[in-house]
Structure 1
Amino acid sequence: MYNLFMTAGEDDWNNPTWTIETGRFLEHTVTVLKERFRNLTPEAALYLKQIPALFAYESFRDQPARVGRVTEIQQLQNALRITLAIDPAVAPIPQAVLAALYPALDINTRRFEHCRTHWAVKDVDLVDVLTRASLLGLPQLPPQPIPPKVFVSYSWDSPEHRQWVAQLAGILRANGIDAILDQWHLRGGEDLAVFMERSIREADRVLVICTEGYFDRAMNRQGGVGYEHTMVTGELMRNVGTTKFIPIVRQSGPTALIPTELNTRLRFDLSAGVRYSAELEALIRDLHNVQTQMPPLGPNPYA
């Protein structure tokens, strides 16, 4: 059995997450499997994360398909958001090669399945099909690591600052980090407080973009920033040793203004300047938990 994800979005499978309307879940899936997975119980979700996945593009895109796993399934009000991990051991499958495998993969071209964005579950051994086509040299597909999930907390200082934050989040996503940002993930009619609470709770790390405006709102407990910072303060009080909250400095003054609760935490300075690229690279390494290699300990020269 395998998951089939078909998308019309350009380069969707180069991103760590993908969202689909709930109504398109289990399209082009046989009835017995629809009944098994329709309600997405915890047991069903766990099973879907354990089986392999084929991430394909609608035929008009002419982009190669990838193989991997679903690492997380989030149920939204009218949509499903998956976190995905591409298997680097499996080469991209060109569209023309994949099209020749449609019958073996139970992809129904007569019903234009290859031209429809959807998520199907197929009662087909994906590994066997790919092996027979000489596309896979492994007896099985190993589980894939879950990308780090990062929530970006910031103040709406100006349209330019919002754009800067979106660009930063885009860079993180391009580097395999599942960045959560209100500009992308907050839907019309959604409760702002619930969104902030859920995002902070579910994130592995929280980037606190410390501008002068953020500092003022946080310290005076004003608006959404004040509410978010209250939650941050509460979690820091419950777990003093946590590394979840990372101050990100974006300021023009000589002295960085950082809320008191975060002032002693290791920060990354992404203010404009010659250090920006190095600081950004260090941040990405930290979020991926990649430590700077330590030189080996040599012998005592006086022993």
Structure 2
Amino acid sequence: MFNLVMLNVDWNNDRQAVPLDRIFEYTANQIRTQFQQGNAPNLDGMMRLPCLFMEEGDADQIAYVGRIFNARVGGGEVVIQYAVDREVPPLRNRFIFEHRAAFDMTQRFEFSRNHWAVKDTDLFQVLLRFQRAPTRQMPVVFRLEEHEAVDPLQASAMMPFAGAFNAVYAVIEQAARNAGMRCNRADNIWENHAIMQDIVSLIDRSRIVVIDCTDRNPNVFYEAGIAHTLGREVILITQNPDDVPFDLRHLRYIRYLNNGEGVARLQEDLTARMQAILGR
């Protein structure tokens, strides 16, 4: 399934508003039921789906694929914050109209109406079928989702699972909250049978990955390599500069002391760095 949001707006912005009474127009009844909570849309569930952002029209208007990462109801509208996936080439409405049955958009008038629909088809399968959209090369040791889905407000922390680092992790969590993000580490989630798969999945959906090089933990270094390979924003921290691997010493890192004053300063430095990354 995917969200279809059609508005006559500039999709290069990152925030738009959809009239509340236009939610679920051109949506099949069984899908509407699935994504309703009482009389309100289940926005959390809908945000898990990829999104096709379109202007009205069936000609040379440009449409984009991306994700909605925040949605709230207010004043008769649903205000959304979103990110366009720059790895997926923009589409022309003419192309979508030509293949409208595959996109579950069979009614012509739908192309001239501002609305938000949920479509019961796999958006990426349609793109692969008709446009050969790029896919990722898959590893064999762990699993990656075929299509990248970075959560712009997700941060993660890679560090030893030891009690001595709990206070440091609490500081990383608070720094993420200060920057308007949320933070996890793999021992706080259980989505897969193998913890390594949970770690990889968390890194894969994170916008920012904080790597603590303290004590030269080999698992943490392996996770740093995954984060760099996936192109994530990595923030290195350490109590001891000698713990930063030789291959990473050309990168900037945050040094901190493991005491009250030191972790307070670490929180300030991390908050500033996260805010700078989000502000790009």
Give me the TM-score of the superposition, normalised by structure 1.
0.47
Q: Is contact 2:51–2:67 with CA below 8 Å preserved after alignment?
A: yes
Q: Which aligned pairs between 1:116-155 and structure 2 lie closer than 5 A?
A: 116-138=113-135, 140-146=146-152
Distance in structure 2 (CA, Å) of the matches to 1:40 and 1:86: 30
Partner of residue 286 from structure 1, selected from 269, 272, 276: 276
Q: Which amino acid aligns with 2:131?
A: S
Quote the sequence identity (%). 28
Q: Relative to 1, partners in 2 of residues 1:41 and 1:131: Cα closer, same or farther, differing over 3 Å?
A: farther
Q: Relative to 1, partners in 2 of residues 1:243 and 1:40: Cα closer, same or farther, differing over 3 Å?
A: farther
Shift of 1:63: 2.1
Partner of residue 204 from structure 1, selected from 180, 204, 224: 180
Aligned to 2:195: none
| Equivalent residue pairs, number | 166
Q: Which aligned pairs between 1:1-303 and structure 2 lie closer than 5 A?
A: 1-9=1-9, 11=10, 13-39=11-37, 44-59=42-57, 62-110=60-108, 112-138=109-135, 140-146=146-152, 204=180, 286=276, 288=278
Shift of 1:60: 6.4
Distance in structure 1 (CA, Å) of the matches to 2:70 and 2:38: 12
Q: Is contact 2:65–2:84 with CA below 8 Å preserved after alignment?
A: yes
Structure 1 unmatched ranges of 5 or more: 149-200, 206-239, 247-265, 267-282, 291-303
Shift of 1:41: 9.7
Deviates more, 1:42-51 or 1:65-74: 42-51
Shift of 1:147: 6.5
Q: Which amino acid aligns with 1:122?
A: K
Q: Which amino acid aligns with 2:97?
A: A
Distance in structure 2 (CA, Å) of the matches to 1:243 and 1:43: 38
Q: Is contact 2:24–2:116 with CA below 8 Å preserved after alignment?
A: yes
Q: Is contact 2:179–2:274 with CA below 8 Å preserved after alignment?
A: no
Q: Select the structure that is richer in strand.
A: 2
Q: Is contact 1:26–1:38 with CA below 8 Å preserved after alignment?
A: no
Superposed CA RMSD: 3.6
Q: Is contact 1:16–1:147 with CA below 8 Å preserved after alignment?
A: no
Q: Relative to 1, partners in 2 of residues 1:136 and 1:58: Cα closer, same or farther, differing over 3 Å?
A: same
Give me the TM-score of the superposition, normalised by structure 2.
0.51
- Give the 3-state SS of the residue equivalent to 1:26 in structure 2: coil
Q: Relative to 1, partners in 2 of residues 1:6 and 1:289: Cα closer, same or farther, differing over 3 Å?
A: closer
- Give the 3-state SS of the residue equivalent to 2:71 in structure 1: strand
